[in-house]
Amino acid sequence: MKVAIVYNRESERVINLFGLPNREKYGLKSIKRISDALKEGGHQVQAFEGDKDLIERLEEFMPRVMKHERPGMVFNLSYGIQGQARYTHVPGMLEMIGLPYVGSGPLAHSLSLDKVVSKMIFVQQGLPTPDFAVLDAPGFEMPKLKFPLIVKPKNEAVSFGIKIVSDEKELREAADVIFQQFRQSVLVERYIAGREINVGLLGNNPVEAMPPAEVRFGEGGPQIYTYEDKTHRSEREIEVVCPAPLDEKLVVKAEDIARRAFKALGCSDCARVDMRLDEEGNFYLLEINSLPSLGEGGSYVKSAAAIGLDFTALVNRLVDVAAARYFGLASPPDVKGKKATNGERVAAWLTERRDDIEQQIQEWSMLRSRTSDPVGIQGAIRKLGAELTEMGLNIDEELTDPRVATTWTTPAGLEGGTLLIGHMDVPLEPDVGVQMYRREPEWLFGEGIGSSRAPLVSARFALRALRRIRQLRRRRLGVLYYCDEGRDCRYSAELIRSAASKAKRVLILRPGNVGDYVVTERRGQRRYRLTAEGQPLRLGRGGERQDVLRWMFNRLEKCAGLSSRKDRLAVATIDLQTRHLPLLLPHEVTVMLLVSYPDEKAADSVEAEIREILTDKRVRWKLEMISSRPPMRERRATLRLAKALEEVATEWEIPLRRESSLWPSVAGLVAPPTGVVCGMGPVAKELYTPDEAVQRISVLQRTLLLAEFIMTHD
């Protein structure tokens, strides 16, 4: 499980610094000790300051989870940065964003930190607590309490400002210090002479009371636990004795009071209850610490040791009891055992490797292989080939031309099985700046990360998961990677058609569209080069001669008018270049035309209309088709394939929807009766731009979907 330790120590990253500052600090040594204990318990651990950047950092460390994935957990040590009820700030943030955490919720922390309110609740619940009064400002009327008294701030911990006073003068002086330093009301309560008893609590429903511990203060100094004692600044040695030397009746009584206080304030998972035991055997409840210190010399840790929990066991037990509270059991079900299904084993293997998957995406996105870089493309193909060969796949020589496309198959072969198709080249022009990899809470950014890299890594891990459970070699499966997506598959098209004709179903490793879509229908696309030549003209001397650039603009406007949303046709100009002699207007214009169409008949008709628009004896023109990408027509086999994918997705609670798309893909090369679904890669946005990104949660979802589908369909 991923466990984030959240604490407050040095950060002042807030919008404004004002209000009551936090005076409590967790030591770096203690934080490291807790971190080491969690790591020893098998958890992935990072520590974070509980400031305004916390949500973003947690979201990056433990993004959204899916079915059967172990959820992350926050180990909350946060005292807050400033303001009232600061213990509640981090738990409140965590509840808002939906992250489970160790320890009490905001309400219990607020009640526990407010000593006056908590004592009022204790009184209402019939729990024994010393008589008390509240002083709101200097010049207060004397409370009707007998000296000696204890004076302390209303909303502080760690014994800040605590003092025993014996008369009115000492009371007013101590109260004035609190008014000035802590800017809050003062709690005054009757001092109970006797023994200091702490009871540590662990768990929920029922909460377990650990053996009471006694805090001994020695002969010198006040018989209370001061701030100087807790921070080792006093000159005396404080001894914690656990179990406390109490008879059985007193132990039962102390534990009962502690449990009732824990329940009265609504605490969760852990707490330490501080009491006084007078000479007559009466317990008095002082306060409850909803964030008990895990310092190695503290009473809470010593109480845990008394029941056999060393520090590592205690820290991990706290995670377990929080998991039990949130999820109904100490830990998610073990899906790695003999009784687990193959699907559960695949899911467990993949979810445990989320970080590895993202690391591989980063490495692949740093590997350059743009369409114009044949050396980079071949290096990437060799890398993929080595990984697939290591998994037991071999190159199918009949379906391979190393210059344009390579096909690998399992020992069972491809015939009648599943073919995965992806492209290795990244269709970006050389003058487009390189996008470096970066990670945000919901998205991964990088060059070609959505169009090529994340789908590749997703497929690779899906196959690795199948190999892990020994289900890969027996599957009829092929993996084809081509290298000319940026050239509209002009050279790889025939190999792709041949490979697809052998398969029963084809899954195209193009990215899914935002909204968790796969594609079952795509328009075709033709790319034309249109060249027009005229006479070189001087500026302002056109006369009856035709200005070829103006002529071209006029014709392009008419061509654009052929677009029809109703008929699903689009005609657009995507590039324009001119040639001219010095001081003369352009005499040659070349443009690239893009035609998007639903079927070949419509495409032929549009081409004929374009030629009719261009017909003009005054200008020499030439229209030639550069590339043609056939449409992906929806067919019964495709719909059956999409439905089968949806059934797998539903079983694993993976969002999946269908749509049609304007943009073409190699899916159009897959002929009937083979079923084909496109967009099987992780969901991506801003394709072929410097902001290309892939959705983090979808990486794992689509990897699991791919693995489960291959395993259950052969």
Token pair recorded at residue 501: 């004709």
Residue 683's pLDDT is 97
Phi, psi of 151 (to 5 degrees): -115, 135
Token pair recorded at residue 194: 């006797």
Asked if residue 230 lies in contact with residue 159, where contact means CB atoms within 8 angstroms, the answer is: yes
Asked if residue 701 lies in contact with residue 655, where contact means CB atoms within 8 angstroms, the answer is: yes
Secondary structure of residue 530 in the 3-state scheme: strand
Residue 23's pLDDT is 66
The overall longest dimension of the chain from CA atoms, in Å, is 121
Asked if residue 484 lies in contact with residue 669, where contact means CB atoms within 8 angstroms, the answer is: no
Indicate the pTM of the whole model. Answer: 0.73
- What pLDDT band is residue 543 in, cutting at 50, 70 and 90? low
- What pLDDT band is residue 232 in, cutting at 50, 70 and 90? low
The dihedral region occupied by 213, where left means phi > 0, alpha psi between -120 and 50, and beta the remainder, is: beta
Per-residue pLDDT of 161-215, as tens digits, reads: 688 899 999 899 989 988 888 788 899 999 999 999 999 999 998 999 999 999 9
How far apart (Å, rounded) are the C-alpha atoms in residues 697 and 699? 5
Token pair recorded at residue 468: 């892990």
Q: Is the pLDDT of residue 708 over 60?
A: yes
Q: Give the H or E element holding residue 458.
A: helix 454-468
* 623: β partners: 530
The per-residue DSSP string of 687-700 comes to TTSTT-EEEHHHHH
Residue 20's pLDDT is 66
Summary mean pLDDT of the chain: 90
Lowest mean pLDDT among 67-71, 143-147, 316-320, 495-499: 67-71
Residue 335's pLDDT is 38
Q: Is the pLDDT of residue 511 over 50?
A: yes
Secondary structure of residue 551 in the 3-state scheme: helix
- What pLDDT band is residue 332 in, cutting at 50, 70 and 90? very low
Q: Length of the chain in residues, anyone?
A: 714
- What pLDDT band is residue 283 in, cutting at 50, 70 and 90? very high
Of 622, 633, 632, residue with least CA distance to 510: 632
Contacts with 700 (C-beta within 8 Å, 6 or more apart), sequence order: 66, 69, 350, 351, 354, 357
Strands (E) across 313-395 are located at 394-395
How far apart (Å, rounded) are the C-alpha atoms in residues 48 and 60? 12
Q: Is the pLDDT of residue 306 over 70?
A: yes
Q: Is the pLDDT of residue 370 over 90?
A: yes
The per-type count for the chain, helices as H runs and strands as E runs, is 19, 31
28-40 vs 311-327: helix crossing angle, rounded to 10: 70
Q: Is the pLDDT of residue 405 over 80?
A: yes
Residue 70's pLDDT is 65
Average pLDDT estimate for 404-416: 97
Average pLDDT estimate for 84-93: 89
Q: Is the pLDDT of residue 338 over 50?
A: no
Asked if residue 218 lies in contact with residue 296, where contact means CB atoms within 8 angstroms, the answer is: no
Lowest mean pLDDT among 79-93, 127-141, 368-382, 448-462: 79-93
Q: Which domains does the chain have, with CATH numbers?
A: 2-102 (3.40.50.20), 111-309 (3.30.470.20), 370-522+632-712 (3.40.630.10), 524-629 (3.30.70.360)
Per-residue pLDDT of 678-694, as tens digits, reads: 999 999 999 999 899 99
Residue 25 CB-density burial (10 A; 0-12 exposed, 13-18 middle, 19+ buried): middle
CA distances from 278 to 200, 489, 518, 682, 686 (A): 20, 88, 73, 67, 72
Torsion of Cα atoms, 630 then 631 then 635 then 641, to 10°: 90
Average pLDDT estimate for 571-580: 95
